[in-house]
Structures are given as C-alpha cells and as structure tokens.
Amino acid sequence: MNFIGAEIVYDIHTRRKPKKEKHICKGIKDYSELISQAEAGKIHIKSISEDHLLNYDEEKLRELKSDYLSAKGYYIMVSDIENKIDREILNDHVFLESMEWMKLFRHSERERITDPTMLYALNTDDLKLFMQTANPMYRKAGIADSDAYEKMIEAADKLIEYGISIIPDKQHRDLLIWSLQWSKHKKHILDLFLQLPC
C-alpha cells in the first residue's frame, strides 16, 4: 500500500465585485461549504495538487495507468494515420467551404479546405463525398470503424473511478465527482492520479 496527500486549489469569483484569489481547502467543513458555493456557480476548480491522504494498491494502480497509457498511445497512432490520409485527400482533391461558412466569415469567395480539422466547414454533400473517398483508405490502413477513442476514454474513466474511490474523505470524493462534468477539471483529476507513484 502507498500513501500520498492531496489539496484542491480554487479560483473564487464573487458576483458583486470581480475578485480572484487562491483558496486552499483543508477541512471537511470547508469542502461542504465549497460544494454549496460551487453549485451556486461561485467557484471554479483551477487545479488539483496534493494534501489529503490517499490509500491505494500500487499494483492495481500500475495496471490501470498502463491500460490508459496503452489506449492513449493507440489512439494517437490511429489519429496520426487518419490525419495523414485526410491531408492526402485534401491535397489531391479540391473541397471548398460551404456557402454558409463563406457568408459567416464574410469571405469574398468559397475558400479551399486544406486542413482536416476544418472538415466541419464542408456542406453535407461534400462531406459525404469526402468520407466516400476516405473510408476505403481507412479500411486499407486498418483503422476503419476504430474504437480507439472510446477505449481511451473508458480506460481514463476506470483510472479516475479507482483514484476517487481511494480518497477516504467522502466530501472530498463528492467534490471531485461533481467537477468531472467539466472536461478541463477531468483532465486535472486524471493527471493527478497519473502522477501517483506505483
């Protein structure tokens, strides 16, 4: 077994007078008060570092961290292959932004899409044509219908779930669970558990 501490740093925003200050929570009573303030929209978690004792099984944590890092590595590999294929298609074929996109950004004419991250600017027909071109190439590369992203999220959720379960303070756990609805806070929490020694 191993032990490590944790603390949460908050950004507190008052409604009447804009004010930013760091507040370090150290007692159970503080957490209860912070939850009520957070629900009222007055508090936003800024970062997570270390303070309360966590009791955990190193072997299990090591396995969960390994599963997540492997899933993340596979997702990055799949994303790189997909991005390379998408860029190849956009380089070899002309796809123009939709009329709606042109008007929205007041372009003088429809601009060519060259970046895969801008595919959402295509109209429905052009996006369908793009996917008809891309899918055979995805299949040939072995990434068609890949669930790499879902596997990575699943592994992350399992690591976070275990990490929260080993925090002895219930109100501390509740606060972390509540904060998971925001992706930036979820990333902070995930990073905290990835940093635990095992």
Considering only CA atoms, which of 129, 141, 142 is closest in space to residue 90?
129
Least confident of 11-20, 28-37, 99-108: 11-20
Percent over 70 (pLDDT), the chain: 72
Residue 193, pLDDT above cutoff 90: no
Confidence of residue 98 (pLDDT cuts 50, 70, 90): very high
Cβ burial of 116 (10 Å; 0-12, 13-18, 19+) is: middle
pLDDT tens, residue by residue, 125-144? 999 999 999 999 999 999 99
pLDDT for residue 70: 96
Percent over 90 (pLDDT), the chain: 48
Sign of the alpha-carbon dihedral angle for 26, 52, 158, 64: positive
Cα–Cα separations (whole angstroms), residue 136 to 86, 141, 145: 12, 9, 11
Mean pLDDT of 38-64: 62
H/E stretch holding 11 reads: strand 8-12
pLDDT for residue 37: 53
pLDDT for residue 6: 41
Confidence of residue 49 (pLDDT cuts 50, 70, 90): very low
Amino acid at 86: D
Residue 13, pLDDT above cutoff 70: no
